[in-house]
Chain A
């Protein structure tokens, strides 16, 4: 019981340890250092800013995803165009004889390789 009370007292003391706290102050000449930082930022060229922007992980990953997406999209489009080379007006359905040639030749081939 005694130990329990001691712990409770310790908790109370610790909880009150911020009482009477004074605000912390930075080192002197903060304004001079801020001006220095602003000057340094102004000295950066536009290329520095572009490269630092692109080197951010989020931007780099997003750009990579965009490039991959565009790449895939262009490939898909090209394949689509390649498969539709015959325009509807020029399209002529194959005649029965042509189908027969195609099917019989494949049949012939298959029978040829049969032992």
Chain B
């Protein structure tokens, strides 16, 4: 069954078509979310949210872009919303900690180990994930989509609704900033 007939069937509320869509795109959605929020449980929650939204708003999908592009956009929006909520909770946890209540996990989350990283590169990847967080938002999203999701610059541009040259520039600047951050990190820690 091709993508368009699946979408048409989902628009008519077909559960089988919905199951096929979830099975086909769940890894892509989950992998994108985990690359942004850096937490397996949160990424799972976001993946559920994304597919619930797909089910509820499939009628608004007109096919102007690829279905996967539409899915990426929903996933990124949900992941960033989740991140904002978490930051708000973190600020609240800080206030609570002033009154002696424990909120250690929110305040100092553990290092993130992406399950798909090659074993001998895990330690380095933990450091890279830490410094990626310090990048400006657009650079972070472009770098994550390219490096973790393996999208081409052209595909990143479609997801971010920007030109190829803008994506090239974003990723170039992201790499420069990451090198600066890493240099500072290693000077401080080694």
Contacts and interface: CB of A to CB of B under 8 A. Distances in A.
Interface string B108-123: 0000001111100100
Contact of B117 (A10, A17, A30): A17
A13 to B, nearest CB: 6
A10 B182 contact: yes
Given A18-B148, A34-B22, A24 B128 contact: no
Contacts of B10: none
Interface string A4-47: 00010011011111111111111100110110011001000000
B31 interface: yes
Contacts of A33: 48
Contacts, number: 97
A17 B27 contact: no
Interface string B141-176: 000000111100000000000000000000000010
B101 interface: no
Q: Which residue among A22, A24, A25, A38 has the maximum number of chain B CB atoms within 10 Å of its CB?
A: A24
A20 B122 CA distance: 12
B70 interface: no
B137 interface: no
B36 interface: no
Q: Which residue among A15, A17, A38, A41 has the maximum number of chain B CB atoms within 10 Å of its CB?
A: A17
A4 B51 CA distance: 48
A37 B175 contact: no
A10 B18 CA distance: 46
22 contacts: A7-B186, A10-B182, A10-B186, A11-B183, A14-B128, A15-B128, A15-B182, A18-B147, A19-B118, A19-B121, A21-B114, A21-B118, A21-B148, A24-B30, A25-B27, A25-B30, A25-B31, A30-B26, A30-B48, A31-B22, A31-B23, A34-B55
Interface of A: 7, 10-11, 13-27, 30-31, 33-34, 37-38, 41
